[in-house]
Every structure is written in C-alpha cells, then in structure tokens.
Structure 1
Amino acid sequence: MVLEVIGQSPPWRWLRAAAGRLLRPLRNLPGLLESDLRGNTIPVLDGVRALACLAVLVFHVNWTTYHQHLWQPLHYPLVGSLLLVGSTGVTLFFILSGFLLFLPYVGALLSEERPWPSGRRFYLRRALRIWPAYYASLFILITLWQPQYWQPAHWRELLLFITFFMDSTPETFRQINGPYWTLAIEWQFYLLLPLLALGVSLLLRRLPQHRRFPLICLTLALVIVYALLVRHWGGYYVHHPEASLPLVPRTVLNVVLFFVYGMSGKFLEDFAIGMLIAACYTYGRLIRPAGVLVRGLRRWSLALWGLGLVLFVGMAIWHLNHDVGAFAWLDGFLPFYDTLSELGFALAYGSCLTGLLFGPSLLRSIFSWRYLRWLGLVSYSLYIWHLPLITYFSVHIQPWLNGLNHWLIYGCYWLWVLVTVLPLAFLSYLLIERPFLKLGQRRLGSGGGGGQVLAPRQGQELTTSHRR
C-alpha cells in the first residue's frame, strides 16, 4: 500500500516518465539504427568505419595486456604483428574523412552543374557531429578521474583540450584519454578542407572541364609530398628541441611546429589519399562513367584489394619490428620508419578502399553486413569510450584476477569490452550523438552540404554519410 502511494506521488511519476523517455529508444534499437543508416550513405563505408574502430579497440586491448605481461608478441611474431597493428585504424579513419568530406567539393570542382558546398553548413554539421560526444566525455573523464584539470594551474592545458589543439604539446598529447589527440587532427582538417578546396578551385577556374581532373590529382599529390616533408623535418625538430633554423629563433619555430606538426604530425598524407580516391570515384561516376579509368578500376579491383592486403601485412611486420624488435633483418630500414610508415599504411588502406568501391558486389556485401554497419554507426562513441574503460579494468579489476591463468585474464578483458564498452557506446550514440545529428538534419537539411555523386550503372544517386 505504501509503495502504491509513493508510486502515485508527483516526483515518482516524473521520474518514471523521465526514465521511460530515456529508455524508449532502447526498446526499438534495431529499428532506430536501421533508420539512421538509411538515406545518405555509401553502405560499405559504414562497415569500413566499424573495422577501423574495432582495429583500434583490438590494439588497445592487446597493447594493455602485453604490458601486463599476459602475452609476448616475440613468441608469436607474425600473429603479434597483426594484433598490435590496430593503432593504424586511425589512418583508415583519416582516409575515410578525406574521401567522404571531399566528395561534395570535388563534384563541384569537376562539374559546373554541381553547386559549391556551403561553408557555413559544413562547419555547423562538423561541429554538431564531433563536439557533443567529445565535450560530454571530456567533462565526465576530468570530473571522475582527473579533477586536477579544473584547477587554475592546469587551465592552459584544459584550454588546449577545449580548442582541439591537444595534439600539439607534450603536456596534453595522449593525456586524459589516449584517442583524443586524433580528434584534434580531425577537427583541424575540418577547418582546413574548405579553404584547401577553394584554393584548388582558383587554380581550376580558367580550365575547361575535361582538363580539371589531372590538375586535381597533381595538386593532391603535391599535398602528399608536402606532408612527407613536414613529417620528416617536423619530427626532427620536435625530437631535437635544441636545434633551430638559420635566422629563425627557436621560439618562432616552436609556434610553427605547434600549428603544422604538433607532436606526431597532422597526417595530411592520409587525408590527401582519401581525397585522391574521392576525385577518382567522382570523375569515374560523374564525368566519364564509361571511361578508361572506371573500366580499369573495375577490372583490377580485386587486384587492388589484394595488393593492399599484401602491403598491409608487410607494413604490420615492419611496425612490430619498430616497436619490439621482432625481425632483425629489418633493422636497416628503421631510420626510414618515422617518415614513410604512415604513407605505407595509407597506401595499403587506400588500395583496399579503392578495390572495395569499384569491386564486385560479393566483396561489398561483406562490408554491408547490417551488424557491422550498426557498429560503424556508433563507432565515434565506441572510439571515445573504449580506452578509459579498458584502463579502468586494468587498474582496478585485473589485480583481483592475478591468480588466474593469464589467458583466462586476457579473455576477461574481452568479456569486459562486451558488457561495458559496447553498451556504453550505443547509449552514448542514442542519448548524446543522435539528438544533435537529428538537430543538424532539421536545421541544415539532410545532405552533406554539397553535390551528390551519380552512379550511372544503376541510374540512382549515391550520396555520402558524414557521420565520421
């Protein structure tokens, strides 16, 4: 009787109503996810995005358990090279961003009929995409685990996290939450992309339409060369703080490094490779649907896919040798690793992505699997939250398991991922990301802020999902 009275009181009715409102999306979760995947998307890229995020998650589990001495990569060097190469899933994320976000711009560059994307719409959509989940997680992680950032002594570092420059100083690089630094790289690319596209358009404005594609490709190739030079020299000056350039004070050089290199580079080569794939994809679908380029890419799509896999395995072996010295015969190549490894992985992923986009339907269907696409949909939240929860397990729960077999403890890490990381990723998407994405669609429209890419074979429009 008492419980019935309490249940009918206004505060409890309000709480029940609020809980029902929060839990309502969970009751129809598959339908919501399918609805969000419908529309402006290239389906296979949702699956690719999921695999990129899962690769990073697998890396962090294996890197953590390796440092907890639960396994030793030198005992299984070939397997270990694949288990510890998942950090390069970040490279695939950057390539996807370059590809997806450049599609509207390259459509307008190649065709006079395509409208130029609105800069205002682009920046607002990007802000609504990346800010809410990031700032929510930043507030929670600082409050629960690193409250020192609320103190005045750390406000400078906090400002760098707020303004997305946490990749540019040793005090903030890979702090609070390891993956945050990559979000800084992403956001800085968002700021740069419309300006870069505008610069390319100024180069092309006097050229006839049929001559624009080669110049776009040449411009992006020069961006890749620039990125390699910055990576080489930026890495040198970051690791040699006493070095300076003639007539350039070190303080001035530090400011330049802050904006153009940071602590590990700005990864422009990755974005540029994605943009180059976007140019080929749009040119083939929009300008020359029956041309030599499209026919060649379709004919050699499986070869491109296989070449990318072979290059990826080779780069994974080189990566492991760099980290733990597994293959002595590769030691002579170590001086080139810091400059060329990122490009090598980007070329591997780019080759696979090109083969997938132009490949047979069977290959595309693997990456269009609905459950994989669901993970791609929540990959941003999964990416943000997985490492703090893995670290929590390592610090607070694993000590209670230390008497168990080391492989059993390793399995407990994956059980923890299943029962905490994945549910939290879906909750974060439903409660934080999705409302702001819907707000952006209502206020700014459902398009990507630019042109659409025509698929002449099917006579239908293929549009892009800018969920990354």
Structure 2
Amino acid sequence: MKSRIDTLDGLRGIAILLVLAGHTVANLQPLGWLETPWIRALANPGGGVRLFFVLSGYLITHLLLQEQAATGSIGLLQFYRRRALRIWPAFYAYLLTLVLLALWFPTGLNVGTFTAAATFTWNYASFWAVPPPEGTWNLGHLWTLALEQQFYLLWPLALIVFPRRALWIAVALVIWCPLARVGTYYLFPAQRGLLAMMFHTGIDSLMAGCAAALLLQSAAWRERLLRCGRLAGSAALWLLVLSPLAALHVRGFGVSAGFTLDAAAAALLIAWMHRAPPAWAQALLGRGPLRMLGLISYSLYLWQQLFLSPDGWLAQGRLLAPLLAALAAAVLSYRLVEKPLLGLKDRRHRSPPLPGLPAKTA
C-alpha cells in the first residue's frame, strides 16, 4: 500500500504557496505592481492555512478508520507516538534555533512566549503572555500547530468512545464554530484577534475534513463523489478566488461564514482529489514541483516565518533572497530532521505513515 497520496501532497504544495504569497505581498516594500486589491486578495495565507487544516482532519480520520477496519481498534498510544515523531522534532529544532539566535538579536522569546510555544498552547497564549514585536511574527504562526496538537489529542478519543456518533460530532462542531466566533466577537471584544485560532472557535476547518472522511466510508457517498467533478471545480474557484475577494469587500465575512464555507469547499476538493482525481489532476498535483513542495511543506511552513518577516529582506525590497533562504532551510530540515524520523516511525508501524501539516499549523 502506498505511503503517500500524491494528489493530496500536491494540494499541500498549493497551500504552502498561498502562505508564502500572502506573507510576501504583505511584507514586501516597496510593493509596486503588487499594490492592488486583487493581488492582496489572491495572495491568501488564510486560505492556505484552511486547506492545511482540512487536509489534516481528512487524512488523520481516513487513516484511523483504515486502522480500525484492519485491526478492530485504534492504537491510541501508537497514534500519539507517530504524531510526536512527525511534528515535534522539526518544531523543536525551529524553536531551539530561535533560542540560539536570541543570543545575538531579539527573536521574541521570553518565559511566557517560550512556554506557550513549547507546550502547544500558543492559540491561547495572549491570556497570560505578552509577546514582544519580534515574537508576534517569529512565533505567530505556531497557533496553527497548537490547534492541530489539541485536535490530535482529542479526536482519536472521540472516534474510540463515540464511533457511531463521530460524524454527528464533526458536523455539530462545524455548525457551532461560526456561531461561537460571532458570539465571542460581540461578548468578548478583547478576544476578537483570536477568533480563528482558539480551539473552541476555530476547530471547524479540521472537523470539515473529518466529516468528509467519515462520509466516504459509505459506498453510496463514494459513488456520488464520482459525479462531482464540476462541483469540485466550483469549490476550487471559491476557495482560491471568490472567497478571498468576498473577504476583501464584506466586513466580517471570514468570522461569520467565510472560514466555514472555505473549509466545506476544501473538504469537497480534497475528497474528490483523493477518490476520483482525473488524469490532469494526477499529472499536475501528483508529480512535479507541487508535489515536491507538498513533501517539504511542514518544514517550509515553520521556517518561512524567519525569512519573510516584515522587518527583514522583504522590508528592504529584496524578493528572491528570502524565498530561496526559506526553501533552503526547509530542505535541510526535511532531509536532516523530518525524513530520518519518518523512516523510524514507518519501520515501527505497519500502517501507512500519517502525512502531517502545519496545519500544521497555519
């Protein structure tokens, strides 16, 4: 059995490109021809993070269900061990690098920010830590990994304890989150900047992927999916073009409905690319540069933050140097940290390896 789903690696490559484009357009000075609403909308890091989240929810659920069907159970401790081997080494290598760099210049680390980052609680860190300006950027993307780790901790338990209600739990959380975001916006104004980040207001993207994987256990739903090519194309158009433009022109769109609609569109696109990919999609996503970017996307997501900062090379108007540096750091991280430990994980587990995310991590 193949250890990777090539077309989904290609989608992961698209997700990291959206993140890179968004950070580049936001921080490059002077912007020149990039200073247009269209470019700012379509260079969409939020859409990339959403795609990462849905991919993670879908793949984790799909592979846990495979394990359950093959063995009759889900090995919880083995799952946590595999996730730790997949996520922790590259993450802590990045965090250690920030600690070492702090010997020469500010990186935003203090006791509060280091603790929040190291314990995967960054999405709630503002309740007890005040990051310096450098920490807001260098550690800011770690909210996505915090949210994913919290998901990894709880979702397998839900599948074990409530196997027949797991789909309803996923759907209920997808419905709950936009209501929770709007309610929090008005009732707790101080938390408005955290609405996409906190577990109880931002888990809908992961749950949309989980719901899609659970639905596709049914042969009837798999049969319906084969006829959804045009609908999947519409989902891609929504996710990559229409949604970011709507967010640009409609105040509060993302918080109220946009995040959830993006997640639903991404779930349909991912399911279709997994179960019924046409030949052109297999060629575009399953081979070539997009797939290669997908393979290193986790490391690239971690390390791009150091090089695409608002006061670094991009602030000096230099475009090529930070992108190449981020790519080089990601390749080194993948080769020296991720890949060897992925091999260890695979040797000790008989199921296909679990592809990870920065989500993630946004």
TM-score in terms of structure 1 length: 0.67
Instruction: State the distance in 1 between where 2:278 and 2:108 align.
Output: 53
How is 1:98-137 mapped onto 2 (pairs within 5 angstroms)? 98-107=57-66, 114-137=71-94
Contact 2:196 2:255 in 1 (8 A): no
Deviation string 1:308-360 (CA, Å, 9 cap, x unpaired) is 41454221112223xxxxxxxx4xxx245422121122122223223323232
Structure 2 CA distance, aligned partners of 1:447 and 1:136? 27
Other structure's SS at 1:282 match: coil
Q: Distance in 2 between matches of 1:398 and 1:297?
A: 43
| 1:280 to partner: Cα distance | 2.8
Among candidates 50, 55, 80, match of residue 96 of structure 1: 55
In structure 1, distance between residues paired with 2:65 and 2:198: 31
Find the counterpart in structure 1 of residue 300 from structure 2: 382
Q: CA separation of 1:157/1:421 partners in 2, compared to 1, >3 Å: closer, same or farther?
A: closer
1:136-187 deviations in Å (ceiling 9; x for gaps): 1111113214777899xx3233221211101112225845333212111111
1:14-29 superposed matches below 5 A: none
Q: Equivalents in 1 of 2:32, 2:302: separation in Å?
A: 26
Q: Is the Cα contact below 8 Å between 1:381 and 1:426 reproduced in 2?
A: yes
Aligned length: 347
Write out per-residue CA displacement over residues 390-424 of structure 1, whole angstroms, 9 at most, x where no aligned residue. Answer: 22xx635567x6xxxxxxx4xx4134312x11121
Partners of 1:78 and 1:317 within 8 A in 2 = yes
Residue aligning to 2:230 = 302
Asked if 1:395 is matched to 2:357, the reply is: no
Amino acid at match of 1:447: S
Provide structure 2 residue ranges, at least 5 long, that are not aligned to the other structure: 358-362
Q: Which residue of 2 aligns with 1:251?
A: none
Instruction: Say whether residues 1:155 and 2:111 are aligned partners.
Output: yes
1:63-83 CA-to-partner distances (Å, cap 9, x unmatched) read 112xx342476x633343212
Deviating 4+ runs (over 6 angstroms): 146-151
Counterpart Cα distance in 2 of 1:136 and 1:183: 14
Task: Could you tell me which runs of 5 or more consecutive residues in structure 1 were left unpaired when the two chains were aligned.
Answer: 1-37, 205-214, 242-257, 322-329, 402-408, 449-463
Identify the range of structure 1 (97-106 vs 54-63) with the bigger mean alpha-carbon deviation: 97-106
**CA distance in 2 between partners of 1:156 and 1:59 (Å):** 28
C-alpha contact 2:182 2:256 (8 A) present in aligned 1? yes
RMSD of equivalent CA atoms: 3.0
Q: Give the deviation of 1:370 after TM superposition.
A: 3.3
Q: Tell me if the contact between 2:54 and 2:209 (Cα under 8 Å) persists in the aligned partners.
A: yes
Report the equivalent of 1:57.
Answer: 20
1:350 aligns with 2:253: no
Q: Tell which deviates more after alignment, 367-376 or 334-343.
A: 334-343
CA distance in 2, matches of 1:100, 1:348: 16
Cα gap change, 1:140 to 1:240, in 2 (>3 Å): closer
Task: Show the counterpart of 2:46.
Answer: 87
Structure-1 separation of matches of 2:204 and 2:108: 36
Q: Name the SS for the 2:122 alignment partner.
A: coil
Q: Which residue of 1 aligns with 2:141?
A: 179
Q: Is the 8 A contact 2:9 2:295 kept in 1?
A: yes
Taking a change above 3 Å as real, the CA distance of residues 158 and 79 of structure 1, as seen in their structure-2 partners, is closer
Which structure's CA Rg is the greater one? 1
What secondary structure sits across from 2:123 in the alignment?
A: coil
The answer as to 2:183 corresponding to 1:198 is: no
In 2, Cα distance between equivalents of 1:388 and 1:313: 28
Task: After TM superposition, give the deviation of residue 265 of structure 1 in Å.
Answer: 5.7
SS of residue in 1 equivalent to 2:4? coil
Percent identity reads 27
Alignment match, 2:3:
40
2:344 match: secondary structure:
helix
Counterpart-to-counterpart distance in 2, 1:190 and 1:165: 13
Conserved 8 A contact 1:95-1:346: yes
Task: Call closer, same or farther: CA 1:127–1:81 in 2, change over 3 Å.
Answer: same
> Is 1:427 paired with 2:332?
yes
